[in-house]
Structure 1
Amino acid sequence: MSSSRHRLYGLPALAALIVATGCSSSDDSATAAVPSPGAAAAKLCRDLDGALPRKLDGLGRKDPRPASALTAGWGSPVIILRCGVPRPPKMIDPKVAEGKDRDAVAGAVNGVDWLMEKQGGGAYRFTTANRKAYVEVEVPEGRDSSTVLVGLAPAVKKAIPEGIAD
């Protein structure tokens, strides 16, 4: 009988531990792989970090881990920006340029050119084009992508000059 009583007390304690761990603030933080661009792009990305808005689409800035001047985030679920990423393969795909790729589209928002790629779960990834460094923005499902890109355009134009990334 003592072993069943032990199990009865052990299960509620384990359940409480799981609930407490699941609600911890560490789970609230997103993570993002930090890009490793060349020196010129890294400098531009640090400039971008200083120019980024504190709020985006009404959401406060909440940077992902590990902390880096090459990454930024807003809200929860988090909108993640990574600067200095490699050129996406779809950027040079002729089907995209011809408008024949249903999962990737090129376009411009407020003077910044972007490649838009559909992701799983209704999310979108946008990558700047025709800039000296590639800036990638992942917008989760349910967020207004156009509002996000309009909010980021002034900072991108200020910090990342037009041109071709190395």
Structure 2
Amino acid sequence: MIATAIAAPMTVLLAFLLSAGHSPEPSDNKDPAPSGSVLPAVTAPAPPKPDAATQAACVKVFAKLPVQLGQLPPRRTQTDSSFVAAWGDPAVVVRCGVAKPAVFGTPEAAQLVEVNRVLWQPDPQRDRTVYTTVDRSVSIDVTVPAGADQPLPLLAPAVSALPALCTATDAAGNTGAKLPICSADR
């Protein structure tokens, strides 16, 4: 019964995401990604195999992800996980059930970012920034290519399907990596 409750929404969601980019009109393919065409699949590393609680949490989040992320059309993903989604070119990629970022809670960590009541640990890299939630029962990361519009406000409603377990805000409203946050024991 539990497997059916998880599998049925995932099947519907995956079918919807995979068919969302298909256009009934033929495309002349003059542009690499003309409006209405399907972008090629994105290869993304799979998050670790989820336990039952992680799987249930990721189902809640993925059920609320937008089909189109702002102006970015959906993309298929090539991965061993059903908890990876992508939009646009270059792709914004969401993965659910990932590990907390290695820099989280260290002096090297960048300042936490709060977007619509979701706390993210940014990990700036040369050509992208990876944002990982740090205040939910399951960690979700979002890879944002350099120069892309910030998608976190559009993703916050889906992430908010999971209740916040903590805050990183002091009495003055300051948010930062050095402030108290959820313990590793949760």
Give the TM-score taking structure 1 as reference length: 0.71
Tell me the SS of whatever aligns to 2:60: helix
Shift of 1:68: 3.5
1 CA distance for matches of 2:75 and 2:155? 15
Task: Find the counterpart in structure 1 of residue 74 from structure 2.
Answer: 61
Match for 1:88 among 101, 104, 110? 101
2:91 and 2:61 map into 1 onto residues whose CA distance is 19
Q: Deviations over 1:12-57 (max 9, x none)?
A: xxxxxxxxxxx9xxx9321111112322112111221111001113
| Deviation (angstroms), 1:120 | 1.8
Inter-partner Cα distance in structure 2 for 1:48 and 1:68: 14
Determine the C-alpha separation between the residues in 1 that align with 2:62 and 2:81. Answer: 9
Cα pair 2:40 2:75 within 8 Å, conserved: no
Is it true that 1:31 corresponds to 2:43 in the alignment?
yes
Alpha-carbon separation, structure 2, partners of 1:53 and 1:28: 19
Aligned residue number for residue 139 of structure 1: 144
Q: Which runs of 5+ in 2 are unaligned?
A: 1-31, 33-38, 166-181
Q: Does 1:107 align with 2:113?
A: yes
Structure ranking higher in helix proportion:
1
Identity among equivalent pairs (%): 34
Distance in 1, matches of 2:102 and 2:80, equals 27
State which structure, 1 or 2, has the greater radius of gyration over its C-alpha atoms.
1
Name the CA distance, whole Å, in 1 between partners of 2:61 and 2:76.
Answer: 14
Closer/same/farther in 2, CA of residues 39 and 161 from structure 1, 3 Å limit: same
Distance 1:56 1:70 in 2: 16
Counterpart of 2:156 in structure 1 is 153
Q: Is the 8 A contact 1:114 1:128 kept in 2?
A: yes
Say which SS state the counterpart of residue 49 (structure 1) adopts. helix
* Cα separation, 1, equivalents of 2:106 and 2:76: 32
TM-score, length of structure 2 as denominator length: 0.64
Q: CA deviation at 1:95?
A: 4.2
